[in-house]
Amino acid sequence: MKKKLNGKVSGLEKRRAVTGYLFISPFILGFLLFMVKPFLQSLYMSFCDVQVGAGSFVMVRNGIYNYNYAFRVDPEYSRLLIEGFTKMFVYSLAIMVFSFFVSLILNQEFHGRALVRAIFFLPVILSSGVILGLETDNSVIAQMHATVEESMTNVSVTAVLQEILKTAGIGTRAYETVFELIDNIYDIALASGIQIIVFLSGLQTIPKSMYEAASIEGCTAWESLWKVTFPMVSSIFLVNWVYTIVDFCMRSDNEVMTKITDTMVDQLNYGLSSAMAWCYFLLTIIFLAISSFLISRRVYYYE
C-alpha cells in the first residue's frame, strides 16, 4: 500500500479501495458467515461431546477424547487414513504423468483433434458428483466380465506379462503398484480431464520460436522436451498437483470421507466426525505444503 502523499491522490485511491471492497464484499460476507464460523465451530466441536436434542444442541467439552477414540479405538480410521494417503500419492503421481503425456499428444496437429479433446474432457462432466460414486459401486459389468473370463479360461497377455515380471523377483511391490495403476487406468483417465486442459493451456503459451532456436542449436526433439517444454510448464505442474490432491480429497468415493460422513449421519456422532475430518484435513494440508514446497523449488518462472 502506498503512503498518502497528497489529499487528491489518496482520495481517489481511497475511493478505488472502497469500490474494490464493495466488489469483493459478497465473498467476505460469505467467507466469514459460512466458512470461518463453521470452520472454527467444527474445530471446537472436535474437542466436545455433541448432544443433539430437540430444538438445540449441547456441547460438553471432553478434551482430546475424540482424537484418542479416532486413532486408538476406532478399528477402521487409522487404516483408512494410511491407505487413503498412499492411494492419494500414487494416484496423483499417475494422474500427473498421464495428463502431461496426453496433453503433449493433444497439442499436436492432427485430424479430429477437437473430437479427441472433447472426449478426454467428457469425464469432467460425466463422472462428477453422484455418478462417480455409483460407478464404483458393485458394477455389474465388472462381475459379468469376471465370470465371462473365468468361464472362458482365456489367457490375457497382460496377465502373462505380469506373471513373468513378478517371477523376475526384483522389486515385486513396485511392479504390483504399477500393475494396479495400469489396471485402474480408467480411473486415472477419468480424474485427469481438468489437468489435461490446464497443461494444454500451458503448452500453448510456449512461443514457437523457442523450439526453433533449440533445433537450430542442435537440440533433438527429446532434448527440447526436457530443456524447453518441461521448464516452461513447470509452474503448471504445481497448479495441477495442488488441484489433483484437492480433487482427490473431495471425490465422492473417497473412503475416509465416506467414513466421516457415516459417523456423522448414521451414528450421529458429530464430535468424533469433526475430529476425524480435522485430522484428515491437517494431514492433507501438511502433505500438500511439503510436496508443493518440493515442487516449487524446481519451478522455473520465465517472466
Q: Which of residues 163-202 bind other proteins (CB under 8 A)?
A: 185-186, 189-190, 197-198, 200-202
| Interactions with other proteins, residue window 138-157 (CB under 8 A) | 138-141, 143-144, 147-148, 151
| Of 165 and 206, CB closest to other proteins | 206
Locate cell 511439503: which residue? 290
Question: Which string of x and - marks every residue 214-233 that binds other proteins (by CB under 8 A)?
Answer: xx----xxx-xx--xx----
Name the residue type at position 218. G
Nearby residues of 196 by Cβ (< 8 Å), 6 or more positions away: 99, 102, 103, 106, 120, 121
φ/ψ of 235, rounded to 5, equals: -70, -30
* Helix, strand, coil % in the chain, rounded to nearest 5: 75, 5, 20
Q: How far is the CB of 177 from other proteins (least distance, A)?
A: 20
| Interactions with other proteins, residue window 41-70 (CB under 8 A) | 41-42, 45, 50, 52, 55-57
| Of 50 and 81, CB closest to other proteins | 50
61 forms bridges with which residues in the sheet? 48
| Of 162 and 234, CB closest to other proteins | 234
Question: Which string of x and - marks every residue 87-126 that binds other proteins (by CB under 8 A)?
Answer: ---------------x-xx-xxxx---x-xxxxxxxxxxx
Measured between alpha carbons, how far is 215 from 224 in angstroms, rounded to an integer?
8
| Of 20 and 171, CB closest to other proteins | 20
Q: Which DSSP string corresponds to 199-249?
A: HHHHHHTS-HHHHHHHHHTT--HHHHIIIIIHHHTHHHHHHHHHHHHHHHH
Question: Which string of x and - marks every residue 66-85 that binds other proteins (by CB under 8 A)?
Answer: --------------------
Question: For residue 298, how many C-alpha atoms fall within 13 Å in the half-sphere facing its CB?
Answer: 11
Residue 24 in contact with other proteins, rule: CB under 8 A: yes
- The count of chain residues that interact with other proteins, using the rule CB under 8 A, is 114
| Of 17 and 168, CB closest to other proteins | 17
Q: How far is the CB of 166 from other proteins (least distance, A)?
A: 24
The conformational region for residue 57 under phi > 0 = left, psi -120 to 50 = alpha, else beta, is beta
